Amino acid sequence: MAGSSHGHTPAAWTGVTIAFIGFCVSGAYMVMAEPLGFWAGMVIVLLGGVVGMIMKAMGLGQAKSTHGDDWSGAAKAEAKAISGEPVPAKG
């Protein structure tokens, strides 16, 4: 499943890192009771989302599945077992 994991792309890591920094800034200024600094941190959080979307548009994000089926083999086998479909034996 490592090959199809969600969020392991440069766009995701960059967007989340920027948003995390924004949350830290907002938290620090909230403790210091400085509303302007809090809102500046929230702007940084939003900037993280925008940067992530721009990077995804540039091709640095996860490509959409063309088949709409991005389950791992284990998840498919479990779904078949629950639905009553026969699951082929490994061997």
pLDDT tens-digit series, residues 7-54:
688 999 999 999 999 999 999 999 999 999 999 999 999 999 999 999
Q: Write down the pTM of the prediction.
A: 0.64
Among candidate residues 21, 11, 10, 9, the one with its CA nearest the CA of residue 54: 11
| 89 belongs to a structural domain | no
| 77 belongs to a structural domain | no
| 75 belongs to a structural domain | no
| 16 belongs to a structural domain | yes
| 49 belongs to a structural domain | yes
Q: How confident is the model at residue 66 (pLDDT cuts 50, 70, 90)?
A: low
CA distance 63 to 57: 10
Per the structure block, which two tokens stand in for 83? 């639905």
CA distance 43 to 81: 47
Overall domain count for the chain: 1
